[in-house]
Chains A and B, each alone.
Chain A
Amino acid sequence: MSTRKPLKQLISEHKTAVILALIIVVGGSIGTYFAIDYLNAQNPEKITLATTTSTYDSGLLDYLLPKFTEQTGIQIKVLSVGTGTAIQYGKDGNADVILVHSRSREDDFVNVSLGENGLPYGIHRACIMFNDFIIVGHETNPANLQSGDSITTVITKLRNAIDTGNMTFYSRGDDSGTHSKEKALWAGIGVVPATRWANQPDKYTETGQGMAATLLMTYEDVDAAHEGYTIVDRGTWLSFYEDYISLNILAESIVGEDLLLNPYGAIPVNPVLHPHVKFLSACRFVGFLTSPYGQTLINAYRKNNQILFHASFGTCNHNCSCSTTTDEITIWTPFQAEFADLIV
């Protein structure tokens, strides 16, 4: 107590000075704090990647990114969101590069006429890898999907089963790449789920959540009256199928059909539209992903001893029915050079 009194006196004698000092200290530290974050945002060695939950939650990026950082010194901040959100982040300039899976919307993203002020949002899409979508459900299979059914037959059977109330389809409903694919499949037989089953939420359920959560809801729905089905990318499925033992793959691509293919593309954000984006670092990252080194790494990645993604740069026309031109492939060659000598 003896030391407290003089201190109290000291403070009361120099009130203005104390208050001023307090303001300076607090204001100064807050200012420094914000300044550090501001400078970090300018640092070309730190870029932001907006990507889909399937690439991050599967562990692929945690496996790839340290190898990129080791080579280039560039750190990557990952925003793991749905494809729709990732594309929006790119459009707003909140990400330097995006890695997503919805081909039609990627094309819109780099399309001049759909950009802002006559400028496209992104520059040069690169096909990185692919896997495929599958339809999963419970063993009793009320929709009676057979292996060997074409995807059109599968979707038609699902529509009929929903109409007769024998099953529930779980849709992501979150504007993700998977959701886009699902809507495209319904559109193929002329169905708009949102309006067709608008008043039957127990038959067509929009979860509004990630793939894993949607799989879980499908798994939990074993009510004999309406068993759950959903569409899922194979990468997520392979990460989770051991947890959801009663779910099975009921439909997948048959040979010669590519409607269920799921290609992933990387696009750097346009630096003319958003002058602050770190275009060069973003291009180096795409160079890493498309280089033989990066492609081999993607092919080598395993989870539960399963291949989750197949590298596809340069071979996507053959593998995923892309229409990539030679120019779109050679443009990355200079950015791949720095990874040429690396071996997996």
Chain B
Amino acid sequence: MANEIIEGILEGLRLIFTFDPEVWGVIEVSFRVSLTSTLLAALIALPIGSFIGLREFKGKKEVTNLINTFMGFPPVVMGLVIYLLLSRSGPFGVLGLLYSTSAMIIAQFLLAVPIIMGTAKAAIESVDPTLKETVLSLGANERQLWWELIKHSKKSIIAGFLVAFGQAISEVGAVMIVGGNIRWETRTFTTSIVLQTRMGEFGMAIALGVILITIAFIVNYGLTRLQTRVD
């Protein structure tokens, strides 16, 4: 087994640097799907989440509970729900989106929204209340206060985005169900690793795992650098 791991790592390096079209195709699909879904989710969840954090309103507790519940929504259940909705026998079957990257983006988008919303809300709420008072006493209106608070909690918001992206790219259940693991089209890192393991191609599976971890490390390192520079 130890041999297999070393061989797998070497195989991984070989596949990356020889620009193996299959491996790079898998990388491309994974990133296209996970980045699109997380960015879209951020576009919608950030304003709403921070707004909830800013305002006090009736039923806020219930909304918070709901967001927190959905933050831990099991991805495989999301996959099942989207499958049933997009299936040809389901309500949105006519769109023909099942087994496409669109379906995968929809599933990952819905998984990412509560995570980004929840962290944005918590980030805004955790800002020191004296800052809020100071900004207001300087004559800021609500929109200006909101912007100030977002700027102040940038770090936590980026962290929330990272968590959502990390979950999206390492998620396997939902993309397997709605994407179908189709070669050249909807095969991602994770579904590819499942397939290679099933086929007994452990070398290839380890190779993909190593690539996934390396890429995750690089992305995180870059973003951490960005985060520290922000201050």
Contacts and interface: CB of A to CB of B under 8 A. Distances in A.
A92 B200 contact: no
Interface stretch (A76-84, A102-110, A185-193): A76-84
Nearest to B89: A92
Nearest to B199: A57
A271 interface: no
A174 to B, nearest CB: 12
Interface stretch (B10-18, B73-81, B98-106): B98-106
A94 B182 contact: no
Contacts of B105: 33
How many B residues are at the interface, by size bracket?
A: 20 to 34
Contact of B102 (A37, A48, A57, A78): A37
A276 B97 contact: no
A34 B97 contact: yes
15 contacts: A33-B36, A34-B95, A37-B102, A38-B96, A41-B97, A48-B99, A57-B199, A77-B182, A79-B99, A80-B181, A92-B87, A92-B88, A92-B89, A93-B88, A94-B89
B88 A37 contact: no
A91 B97 CA distance: 17
B40 interface: yes
A239 B200 CA distance: 9
Contacts of B95: 34, 38, 41
A184 interface: no
A48 B119 CA distance: 40
Interface in B34-50: 36, 40, 43
Among all A-B residue pairs, the 3 with the closest Cβ atoms? A41-B96, A93-B88, A37-B100
Given A93-B89, A276-B88, A42 B200 contact: no
A78 B182 contact: yes
Question: On chain A, which size bracket covers the interface?
Answer: 20 to 34
Interface of A: 26, 30, 33-34, 37-38, 40-42, 48, 53, 57, 59, 62, 77-80, 91-94, 210, 212-213, 239-240, 243, 274, 276
B180 interface: yes
A34 B101 CA distance: 9
A94 B198 contact: no
Contacts of B97: 34, 37-38, 41
A78 B183 contact: yes
Contacts of B181: 79-80
Contact of A276 (B96, B102, B197): B96
B35 to A, nearest CB: 13
Contacts of B96: 37-38, 40-42, 276
A30 B101 contact: no
